[in-house]
Each structure stands twice: as structure tokens, then as C-alpha cells.
Structure 1
Amino acid sequence: METSSRRQPTLDEVAARAGVSRAAASRVINNVPHVSAAKRAAVEEAVRELGYVPNNTARALASRRTGTVVLAVSSDEPGLFADPFFAEVTVGVSSFLEQTDLELVLLLANTARGKERLRRLLSSHRADGVMLMALRGDDPLGRLAEQTELPVVFGGLPMAGTPRWYVDPDNRGGGRLAAEHLVGRGRRRIAMITGQPDLQAAVARAQGFREALTLAGLSPAGVEAGHFTQTGGEAAMERLLAEQPDLDAVFAASDGMALGAMRALRRHGRRVPEDVAVVGFDDLAGALYSDPPLTTVHQPVRALGHEMARSLVAAVEGEDPNPLILPTRLVVRESAP
């Protein structure tokens, strides 16, 4: 009689007895991977000692997982996945998911059809979670993310609001590093080539750049948009040279734009770095092999993808991962020694 009326132990009590988090205890009980052998053994022992009986409803929910996660990119660039940045992010995502049983689906959601495909996928729960990249302004993908019950991790902050889970480079700090370096090298007529004005990364890099110039008592010699492409950077440099022919430095908010800027400078007979110092942002492979090699702000692009996937897997398994800002650093090469 006493035994039948005895209160059943809870999952929290199992976790406390095992010395692990509630999420870790749940993963062991539901036979979900990504748990260390030591934690698994501790939870199993606590279950035996306490006589814990798993909740069948919770186990049924866990068993309905699809085994698939989505990397959705909102961009209208035709050569998106040939872009070294997105290629590195994808490699980072894949490298983490290789440690799991989850499959990765890449979805280019830049068209109305692509967005509708993602909406159907989210509403039908045909994935366990989603990573979103390159959201601009009032992007409908952001609203879809708010409406779904699935875990969503943002790669980079959106323009409006702060999502629950995100991974972002320190774009603002990186912009400051670029400006501080050029000022420290004695440059005083420093221009900037920005990315798209409706991308938070572009806004933050420009903000950091302006802050550092203001602290040095300077104003930008000129600001032009290059839209994160080489051709855009080249065209922006042409406009800057027409408006400010005596500029002595330029910060381009991506390596691609910096390479385009150097092409325009060569065409006008400007030597880099003797006449015009150039700093980029990314530190992708092309920066090392440009002519001259590019001084640039390093952002850990592959780590961005890796940490997005890590956060998503944690959220899928019932944890509440902390948002993460990845550090940036300056890599000095011959374009602005």
C-alpha cells in the first residue's frame, strides 16, 4: 500500500542525484546522442537508485525528431555558395554536425518560392531546427522564425530585435580595429567602403569605424557603398577617388570589396600602401594571396558556422544555449603595414 502511493521521483531529482543538468539527464533517458559516457553512466545509476520511470509522452516527442536541420540563407547574390564566406560557414556547420546523427539541408530562401518552401518546412515540422543567415531589413524569414515552434539560431544579428539564440562576430569592434590601425600608421584622410545598408553586419562595422575616427578627432574622408562584392568595391573606390583624390587610406568592410578597391587604385596609378593604405574585413584565403597581401580584420568564419550548429543542436536537445559574440582581430600585411 505504501509503495503504490509513494510519489514518483522527478527528472530534476535524477539530474541532481547524477550531478548533471536537467537537459543532459533528459538526453540520456530519451537515448539521444551527444552525451559523454561519464554523464550517461551517472544518469543511469541515478535512475536505478531512485526508481525513476520515464514519461512516455516526453519520450514519444523525442522519438518524433526528423534527424534533419536546415541552413537557410536569405540572399539575392547569384554566386552565393561560390562566395568564400558562405562556403566557410557551411564547412563550419558541417564539421560540427559530423559529430551527430543530424543531416544538413541547405536552402536558398531569397525568392518568394524559396521563402514559401521554408515556411512549409517549418509549419510541417519536417526539420528539427533551423539556422538563418544574411537577413536584411524587414526580411520575412525573421517573421517566420518568430512564428515557428522549432529552435532557430541566427548567424549574425538581424536589423531589428534580438533573437533568443544567435552567433555573431564582433563587427563593431572589428571596424574600430581597422580605423585605429590606419590612424596609428599616420593616415588622416581615411575613407570607407561599406556593405549593404540593410545588413546589420555592415551597419555595425561602419559604426565601429566612425567611433574610432571620432576618438582620434577625425571624420571619414568619404563613405561609399560596395555591397560586399569585388565589383561593388571597385566602383565605390572610383567614386571615392573622384570625390577625394587626396585620400590616403581606405577601409573596405569585406575582403572582396578591398580587392576591388585595390584594382581601381592600380588603374589610377595609386600605389598600395605608399599612396593609399587598404584594410579589409574577413581574412579569407584571398587576402593572403592578393597583391599586395591584404591587411584585414580577421573574423572566425568557420567558427561562426561551427558555433551556430553547436547552439542549434543544444537547443534541439532541450538546452538553452547562450548567445555568442565571436572576437575579431587585426591581421597586418603589406597593404597597410
Structure 2
Amino acid sequence: MNTGSLELTLAWDGTQIVAAEINSTRPPVARALRGLPLARVVEVVPRLFSLCRHAQGAAARLALLAVRGEQAGIDARIDLGLNIASEAIAEHLYHLLISWPQICGERFRSNPWKDLSSWRKRLQGIGDQATAAALGAEFSNWLEEIPPPQFDDAAAVNAVSLLSQIGVAEWASHIDRADFSELPTFAGQPAETGVLARHAGDPEVAALLASGRRVRARLLARQAELRWLAQGLVDLPRLATLLDAAAVAEGCGLARVETARGTLLHRIEVDGDRVHRYLIVAPTEWNFHPQGAFVREIVGCPAPTRGDALLTAGRLALSLDPCVPCVWKVDDDA
């Protein structure tokens, strides 16, 4: 399925980026679920996404249970949480081992692809709590060998608030517009979701956040999340907190899953045994909102050359981790 892209246009005056626009060509995949028999929802939803398939599938499963007045038991939520955590670890490692060294011009570890493949296979091979705990302890120690990339990070002139970390019951009152999935807001304002929102309280992350160095803060938050997930492998019930669901109205279920990129929401309304309306609110729609984190932070960034403008924007976009490719354009603002 065509995933679409984010078309990012920067206005550059020769010294700084003075404006930015975002045009998303992501297809409204949730509309394809309307009229679908409920029995096929869990089968179809993961096929619609090339990334975060476990998270998307878990959200669909939980929302469907909720609309039926059912709840997943603790063992089922731990199993779903383990799949989501394994998926998130692989995503975070790809960025730290490959994407960030590449964009920062740093040397790769001896064989980052081999490291990534090895951890993926070992995570997929977890069969019991003892194996998970042993792997979590080993992974936690290994993480200490991964230093964060080093680069200059200009202080953000303007920034959106971090998305509140709330449960699914509280989310029900915030999803109140027909266009919420395309243009989500919290208390009427754009917000940032993801690792920074979840780990802003980490002392090192908080120090960078206080100085406005939000790109570097996101990298440290990504490492803080990897440590948290490693501890989750040691203490599996912790991973059940990554997701929850509830019936929020008659014939309507809502699920929340914390993915590598941020908070994912699935809302399903049913008519008999078929989907009447399906809403998916993905992290990319928060962070690349037309007045969201990317636009607010990139405007005002110094860029003495066109190449600097592209590099600064690329680092910011990578730190916000879109789930689709970005297409760039720089316009001279005379």
C-alpha cells in the first residue's frame, strides 16, 4: 500500500529559516475499514502499515474488545506489551546505530546492521519470563556502550507543549472533532508526542529541555526509553502499561498504545457486526501538524547556507521520527 509522504517546504532568507509548510500525502487508511466485518479488523489493520504493525494490531485488538464490553487480561496485555516493546527497541536501535551517525557524519560502530539484526532475532525469540529477564539485563549493559551522537543544536526559539501522558479514559473527551485524526490537538493546541513527552522528567533530558536543546534532548530521551524498555524485559508487567482500552460510549471503543514514535489512538464505532467508523490518530499527525513541533522549531533556526538549512531540518525531522518519507524543498525568501 502507498504510505504517502510529508512534503516539507522551507523558506530561507540566506541567514535563517523564516517559514515552513507541511503537506501530507498520507492516505486516510482508516476509511478503508468502514463497513468491514468486525471479525476481520484484527486481520486487516496490521496489513495497512509498514511500520509499527504490532502496535497497530494491538490497538485494533484492544479497541475491538472494548466495544464488546471486554478487557484483555493481564497475561494478554503483557504479551501485547512485549511485542510492542520489541518493536520499539528495534526502531530506536535503527536510529541510534544507523540514522543518527549517518546524518551527523560520524563513524558507524564496527557492524551496526549486524548488531541490529542480532537484537531483533533475540527479541523475537523470547519464549518465557526467564529468557526475557536475562536478555533485558544483557541489553541494559550493552546500551552503556552506545554514546549519543554529538552535534551543534541551536536552542528552539519556539516550541509546542509536550503531550500529556494520560490514560484512555481521559482521552475520550479530547477526540471531539471530525478532523481530529488529521489535525490532532490537546486542549485546543498542537502538542508533541514521543520519547521527549514520555521522558522529560529524566534529569539529563530535563537539563537539555530547559536550555531549549530539544533535538539533543530527544536523543537522550530515546536512550532513556531504551533503558526503560530493557527494565521492562526484566519486569514484564511494566510493559502492560504501554497500552489500555475502554468502552467510551455505546458501540464505541477506544485504545491507546505507546509506540516508538509516540501515542497511538484507535477509536472504533460499530453498527451490528460491522465497522461504522474507524479513527486512527498516529504520532506523525501530532509532530508534523501544520502548526506543530516541526514547524514551530524550524522557524528561526540559523542557516548560513542552503545546505545548513537542509541539514538542520533533516536532524529536526529525524528527531521527531515521521513514519513516512520526507520530501524537501527550500525556497529563497527574498
TM-score (norm 1): 0.25
- Larger relative contact order (C-alpha < 8 A, sep ≥ 6)? 2
Q: Please give the TM-score of this superposition, normalised by the length of structure 2.
A: 0.25
